[in-house]
Amino acid sequence: MPSHDVMPNIELYQPVQVDDALALANRFADRGWLLGGGQDTYGWLKDRAKSTDAMIDLNGIESLRGIRDTGNGIEIGALTTLTEIADSDLIHASYSLLSSAASRVASPQIRNVGTLGGNVSQDVRCWYYRRGLSCYRAGGNLCYADTPEGMNREHAIFDASRCVAVTPSDTAPALVALDASMVIQNVDGERIVSAEDYFVGPDIDIENTTVLRPGEILTAVRIPDTWANAKFYFEKVADRNVWDFALVNIAVVMKINGGTIEDSRFVIGGVSATPKRMTAVESAVRGKSASEETAESVATLASQGAQPLNYNHFKMPLMDNLVKRALTA
């Protein structure tokens, strides 16, 4: 008898209230899977590389959608699509860094259904892992990318710990730069973590990309007005302009007064498992002008300490040049 590649049985739940979704998430815990726009999820299911017993589709929960002015910032529901974020006048008026980042994700079709919650909670894109190989991140005991002949052009140059996969999200560096907070709920209540602490590296948890625990749902992202209307810079470098992940992306916020940089945040993606703040650059530019001269003097601080693999040395000058471009834009 030939074997047929059929989809495994998955129970589908479509709650319309957050409380019901939280109860389901609690009941199924690590046997359940939360579904936003499905643009990361469906790849796993279609490739038969991961599956689940119960799919908890969050799309019917209206209270998880939308962008609200909170008086001292904005709150974005986790189910808000990337297109809604890219097109929002409220976000564009004061936090256009996030509009720029959201508008560079994937393709218009993926942005139309992909959600902010899914974008920041998505899994890594390492070829080997996505193909279903049993590497460290999949619970095995080796890394296929970190070998002399491994395909590691897209992988990490910082902070690797057994796994060398990188954060693939375009909105994540922008949210860290804007000092966003992530609102996380479970059946017992709510906890709020900073965007910087939301993402975790393999040294802390090699099988997950965020601090979310089974039973928890990211319900909203809050952006304080701390950096509203600052000078923003976002750039993504990828092999193709659409439908492709960043090789490196950069999100920068700068408060400039009388030509002098009073404060800044420089955050880079695609170089480590989490969005990386370049604190050495932030310190070095404080009190300086945003100019060619400053750019030249601080740029190499960006890639200082990098530990490239065989095929990704190019990310070092790329990082340095993105910092320069941010300072001279």
Ligand X SMILES: Cc1cc2nc3c(=O)[nH]c(=O)nc-3n(C[C@H](O)[C@H](O)[C@H](O)COP(=O)(O)OP(=O)(O)OC[C@H]3O[C@@H](n4cnc5c(N)ncnc54)[C@H](O)[C@@H]3O)c2cc1C
Task: Tell me, residue by residue from 162 to 181, as one string, x for binding to ligand SF4 by CB under 6 A and - for no binding.
Answer: -xxx----------------
Q: What is the DSSP letter of 123?
A: P
- Beta-bridged to residue 260, according to DSSP, are 257, 289
Rg (CA), the chain: 20
Give the 3-state secondary structure of residue 32.
Answer: strand
Residue 217 touches which of ligand SF4, ligand X, none (CB < 5 to 8 A by kind)? ligand X
Give residues 84-103 in contact with ligand SF4 (rule: CB under 6 A).
Answer: none
Q: Are 142 and 135 in contact (CB under 8 A)?
A: yes
Shortest reach from residue 70's CB to ligand X, in Å = 19
Query: Around Cβ 270, how many Cβ atoms within 10 Å?
Result: 29
3-state secondary structure at position 125: coil
What are 52's two structure tokens?
A: 């689940």
Nearer to ligand SF4 by C-beta: 146 or 320? 146
Q: Mask: binding to ligand SF4, 110-129, rule CB under 6 A, as x and -?
A: --------------x-x-xx
Q: Is 137 in the site for ligand SF4 (CB under 6 A)?
A: yes
3: its two tokens: 């074997």
Tokens at 224, concatenated: 């304080």
Which among ligand SF4, ligand X, none contacts residue 129 (Cβ within 5 to 8 A by kind)? ligand SF4
Nearest alpha-carbon partner for 53 in 24, 6, 20, 12: 12
Residue 143 binding partner per list ligand X, ligand SF4, none, with a CB distance cut-off of 5 to 8 Å that depends on partner kind: ligand SF4
CB of 182 to ligand X, least distance (A): 9
Out of ligand SF4, ligand X, none, which partner does residue 115 contact, by CB within 5 to 8 A per kind?
A: ligand X
Q: Which of 15, 73, 114, 202 binds ligand X (CB under 6 A)?
A: 114
Phi-psi sector, 80: left (phi>0), alpha (psi -120 to 50), beta:
beta
- Bridge partners (DSSP) of residue 261 are 256
Residues 6+ apart with CB under 8 A from 174: 97, 98, 100, 101, 102, 234, 251, 267
For the CB of residue 172, give the shortest distance to ligand X in the complex, in Å. 8
Closest CB to ligand X: residue number: 118
40, two tokens: 């990361």
Binding mask 238-267 for ligand SF4 (x = CB under 6 A): ------------------------------
Residue 78 binding target from ligand SF4, ligand X, none, CB below 5 to 8 Å by type: ligand X
Cβ nearer to ligand SF4, comparing 137 with 222? 137
The helix (run of H) or strand (run of E) holding residue 266 is strand 260-269
Residue 167 has a CB neighbour count (10 Å cut-off) of 28
CB of 121 to ligand X, least distance (A): 3
136 binds, among ligand X, ligand SF4, none (CB under 5 to 8 A by kind): ligand SF4
Q: DSSP secondary structure string, 160-226?
A: -BSB------SHHHHHHHTT-EEEEEETTEEEEEEHHHHB--TTT-TT-SBS--TT-EEEEEEEEGG
Q: Which is nearer to ligand SF4, 137 or 265 (CB)?
A: 137
Q: In the window 162-191, what residues touch ligand X (CB under 6 A)? A: 168-170
Q: Using the rule CB under 6 A, which residue among 49, 54, 106, 151 binds ligand X? A: 106
Residues that bind ligand SF4 (CB under 6 A): 124, 126, 128-129, 135-137, 143-146, 155, 163-165
Residues that bind ligand X (CB under 6 A): 33-41, 43, 58, 78, 82, 105-106, 110, 113-115, 117-119, 121-122, 168-170, 212, 217-218, 243-245
